Structure 1
Amino acid sequence: MTPAPDAGPDAAGAWDDLLRAEFARAAHDVTPGPAPVAAVVRAGRARRRRRTVALSVLAVLGVSAAVAAGTALVRDPHPAAGLAAPPVVSSASATDPASAPTGASAPTVPSVPPASRHVDEVPAPVRTVAAGERVRAAPGWMVWLTARGKHWQGGEDGLEQFRSVVDGNIDRTRPALSHQGEGTFHSGLYYGTDDAGRVELVDAEGRTTVATLLQLPGRPGWGVWYAVAPDADAVGPRLYDRAGRLLFDLPPF
């Protein structure tokens, strides 16, 4: 059915017309069937279901990732979280066993002992020194204690001096103190109590100087006090106990 090579343009056109006529005849002989509407609908619904399932899976995966991230943050806090202040426990829950949860024991809170329980403790102003231990009390002055009494040395002549607590010249059965004044340097004995808290010097103008207290180990019931006053005026030392009560007042000389 291929036209001859030397047929020319007219022959080629005639050949095309013949082909169209043959195709038209063949088309008329074919009876078209009904459109597959149901199949198309089913295919569309299936594609829609697959798309919905895929979106649901992605949503579930996203939520799971968010939950996992939150759990990781809770289990592994920021390093600075350890620097946060501890939770505050109310005084009621810390001290009242009735406020503790059922089945849980109440927290143990150390009780604060009353002031009377501190009687046997040496207060901070009282310094315990070894026998013979020399203490620099002031520029040019040294003080030390032995079992026999108070020793001190200084002043212009630098002589060593001694005040006995065992020669019977002091009554150690009741609180009292002695006083030796040499210029602005003042010192003495305090005795008759194991509850000495402080010694104060009060001069004629009402100025107060707090002394330093020394004692030997074992609290023998006596000790030494010393202080440097503002000037060399006569002063009257006062002995107080740890509760601040006046035990003895030596009038100024």
Structure 2
Amino acid sequence: MQKSLQGKKILVTGGSRGIGRGIVLAAAGAGADVLTCYRHEGEAVDSLVRELKKSGGDHHVVRADVGRISEVDQLAVTARERFGRLDGVVNNAGVISHIPFGELTVQEWSEVIDTNLTAAYRVIQQTLPLMGAGASVVNIGSRGAAAGIPLRAHYTAAKAAMIGLTRSLARELGPKGIRVNVVAPGVIETEAFDAMPAERAEGLRATYARKTALARLGTVAELAGPVLFLLGDGAGYITGETLNVDGGI
């Protein structure tokens, strides 16, 4: 694999599963030193640690619930202590639930907004002193932010707000040489599909085969590639953009 991120120090939130895990492993494979966090202990965390050891490099997997401000702040401290600087930050951690709007409680609204949006604000703010000219922030959004998704008003609102946050920060941080962009996935097939009943998983694949120009779901690797591009020097003149990675949905 080409070492496009050789020597770069990268923070990825929510890196033990799904899209985040794919980004962590791809970044490590591209030569970056990676710090990532997880919310709950488990085999996914243990297996990630094992895989990162195989890749070489200076990698760290720590527990931090980014839905809690105090734990975000400690994550930034850990980045400073372990790396001393950051060349890239990927705000990936998030939660989602499916609730009719009339039944959406304040608690559920707050949890989704805090984890998907407020965490990104705090991560960027607290790691900003570690970033210099050439650094890149990539926020993981959602194609649903533009389309709107029934039963996910709270999630869709958070992802739409992420675009506004990104565009404002791109203008504010641009003079410092720091780039800020969004990668907005469509439906990406992660290990969550393996946990579904086979009939449901096949039904989802068939549904999105009809809805996308490429007639299939995306893979984690196909999402990680654009993220690595935006983290790298080849994207040095790209900021404030939302890159849809959705197979032409």
Q: TM-score, normalised by structure 2?
A: 0.24
- Structure number with greater CO (CA < 8 Å, separation at least 6) is 2
Name the structure with the higher strand share. Answer: 1
**Larger C-alpha radius of gyration, 1 or 2?**
1
Bigger helix fraction: 2
